Amino acid sequence: VAPNLVYVMLRDVMVLCPIYLPVRDLVDRLLQYVAVNQARLNRALFDPEFIDGPEAQPEMRRMAGEFVNQILTATFDKYRAGEIDTGEPKAYRFSAGDNPDDFPYGDPFDDEDWAP
């Protein structure tokens, strides 16, 4: 894979990529994407519109979007599988028996019919 193509893709997608995938996984996916799309990337880079910037070049935007979608899909799959820690606080609940409201002590006055 030509290193210049990897850097072109990185420049266009890094601000859009989620940060939750392990770095090695992200790099492997980027290298694979660039290898598979090397001809498309070369055509886009040598398109006269690329001189105006990749924002003006629809093929580069399309390829960046495809790669970001792949990363988002992988991120959501790993999140659903519990493989990603987002840093969100976790809540732990403890219960005993069939009725979690009875833990740790049942409230005998919790009955709606009870009145002091």
Burial of 89 (0-12, 13-18, 19+ CB in 10 A): exposed
Nearest to 6 by CA among 47, 39, 35: 35
Say which amino acid occupies 110. D
What was the pLDDT predicted at 3? 75
Q: What is the pLDDT of residues 14-45, one digit of tens each?
A: 888 888 888 899 889 999 999 999 998 888 87
